[in-house]
Structure formats: structure tokens, C-alpha cells
Amino acid sequence: MDELLDPRLGQVRVFLLHDDNKPRKLKYNLGPEQAGRRVLAFGGAHSNLIRAVAEAGARHGIETIGVIRGEEHRPLNPTLARAAACGMALTYLDRSTYRRKHTAEVLAALRARWGSDVVILPEGGSNAAAVRGCAELPAEIGHDYDVICCPVGTGGTLAGISAGLPPGKRALGFAVLKGAGFLEGEVARLQREAYGRTWDNWSIDLDHHFGGYARTTPALDAFAARHGVERIYVAKMLHGILDLAARGAFAPGTRVVAVVTGRPFPPAEETLLPLEESALDPCRRVGRADRLRLG
């Protein structure tokens, strides 16, 4: 792991663990045993979950549907183009309907369109199976540490990390949403659904959201660019760690592992080959797009 060096840390040491949490969330949701099933996922136009579900579906022979927030735009951006190339069927919900995606009316319309047996993943992919996948992360860390930090959007990653911690370690999540006090209940709910119990070794910082989900500031943009991380999740977490360290929230000598969850797609330093040039790439089929209409 790389070490984050900044004078604001003082005697606190921070190590960066690059770990894409989406495959962990999908490990027990979209494995080979799901071959032949149909799975539906929600996300925005740049959703890492949409891409990860599409790629997992292509690998395991699972039909996938991506329900995208907002209007369709052509040409597709790299995330949605990749999903479509992996065979994912793309459908779109206007923002008002998307906000009601958890309601019986919208879910019934989705099942009517895609089949009563379609498996519907929650937004962010956070469910009991996702928690079990994320719980495997702490055991894979080969360095000594005191605290594991991660960004929090829907709570699944934090719930899993907490459940997988050895005794004496703690997990600290940084909410990327404004007014995210509800996430404490969500993390506890997810742990109960996955394991029938909760843990008290975790907490959520609610003060470093920079205005809310996908909101940013010039200072945060500059911080993200300086550290080479994306700004929606990871930059907010790292900025929060530095701020807390500067204010003495961590005891001197604390060793922190900061989980860098994913990366922008495509990475800035990479140029994606045309799919037909990637002979081993399972994502070579053509997806289709439509719009779900209610009423």
C-alpha cells in the first residue's frame, strides 16, 4: 500500500488500499451459480455499479438490465458504452420516477417489463450478499492498522468492513451525502440482514460531504487532482481524514488504512481499445436502450 504523506497528519500514518468495492458487492450477488438469471441494477449515467454488473453478467452468462437515471444521450458515455457492449439492456427513468424507484408502483412496472422473476439489486448494490463480500476485505490487509476508513454512499461497504474487523480495530465511514444521518440505521439494518446482529466498532462522519452527493468545490477538485483520486467519494474521505487528523481526532501513532474504492472509468492514463480488437473481452455484444413509461 502507498502511504499518504501530508504535514497535517502529524504522527498519524495513512495507507491507501486501492480496492474496487463493486466486485466485492457483486461476488455473492452475481456469481456463476446465477447463470441464466436476469438481474436489474439502478444507477446514474456514470455509475460504476452499472459497469460492474454488466461486466459480471458477461462473464457469468447472466442477462443484465441497467435502469439509468435521466434522459438517454447519444453517443453513450464510456461507462454506458461499456455496459452496452457487455450485453446490458439500458432503459431510462426520468428523475421524478427514479426517485420513486423503491415504490410498489415503479417496481411493478419494472417487473411487468422485464419479468416477474427478475432479480432487482438496490441502488449502490448494498444488500446482505454485498455485505458478506465486503466483510472479506479486512482479512486481506497484510499491514498492521488501527482504523479502516471508507467512503459511504449506501452503507454496504462500511457494514461489511465492520463485520469483518478483528477485535480491537475500528471502521470509520465518510458520508458523501448531505443530511446522511439515516445511513447509521442503514448500516445496522444491512448487518442484521446479513448476520442477524450488529457491531459497535464503526461510526460515520457526516461533516465532509462538500455540499452533497456529486457536489464539489474548487478546493476539493484541486485536492483530488493533486492526489490522483476521484472526487465524488474518495477525495471527500481523504480530505476528511486529513481534517480530523489536524484537529487531533486520531491519537498520535494511529495507523489508518483508507480504502480507495474504485477509480474513474476509463482511467485517464489509459485509452480503451475498440472492443473488436480485444479478443479476450467478454463484453462484445450489443446492448439495447429503451425507456420505461408508467401509466
Lowest-confidence region among 4-13, 138-147, 269-278: 269-278
Handedness of CA 137, 155, 132, 201 (dihedral sign): positive
Going by pLDDT thresholds of 50, 70 and 90, the confidence category of residue 292 is low
Question: Quick one: pLDDT at residue 43?
Answer: 93
**pLDDT, position 286:** 40
Q: Helix, strand or coil for residue 135?
A: coil
Assign residue 70 a region: left if phi > 0, alpha if psi is -120 to 50, beta otherwise?
left
> What does the mean pLDDT of the chain come to?
89
Q: Which pLDDT tens digit goes with each residue over 98-107?
A: 999 999 999 9
pLDDT at 272 over 80: no
pLDDT tops 70 at residue 277: no
Please tell me which residue, 232 or 84, carries the higher pLDDT value.
84
Give the pLDDT score at 47.
Answer: 87
Q: How many CA atoms lie within 13 A of 278 on its CB side?
A: 13
Task: Determine which helix (DSSP H) or strand (DSSP E) holds 119, and give its type and residue range.
Answer: strand 119-120
Average pLDDT over residues 118-138: 95
Is residue 109's pLDDT more than 90? Answer: yes
Q: What is the pLDDT of residue 281?
A: 52
Please state the rounded mean pLDDT for residues 149-164.
Answer: 97
Give the global pTM. Answer: 0.84
Report pLDDT for 280. 40
**pLDDT one-digit tens code per residue, 209-254:** 999 988 999 999 999 999 999 998 999 999 999 999 999 999 999 9
Does residue 34 have a pLDDT over 80?
no
* Percent with pLDDT over 90 in the chain: 79
Q: What percent of the chain has pLDDT over 70?
A: 88
130: pLDDT strictly greater than 60:
yes
* pLDDT given at position 265: 41
DSSP conformation letters of 235-255 = HHHHHHHHHHHHTT-SPTT-E
- pLDDT of the residue at 283: 67
Distances (CA, A) of 182 to 67, 94, 100, 155, 190: 24, 25, 18, 10, 13
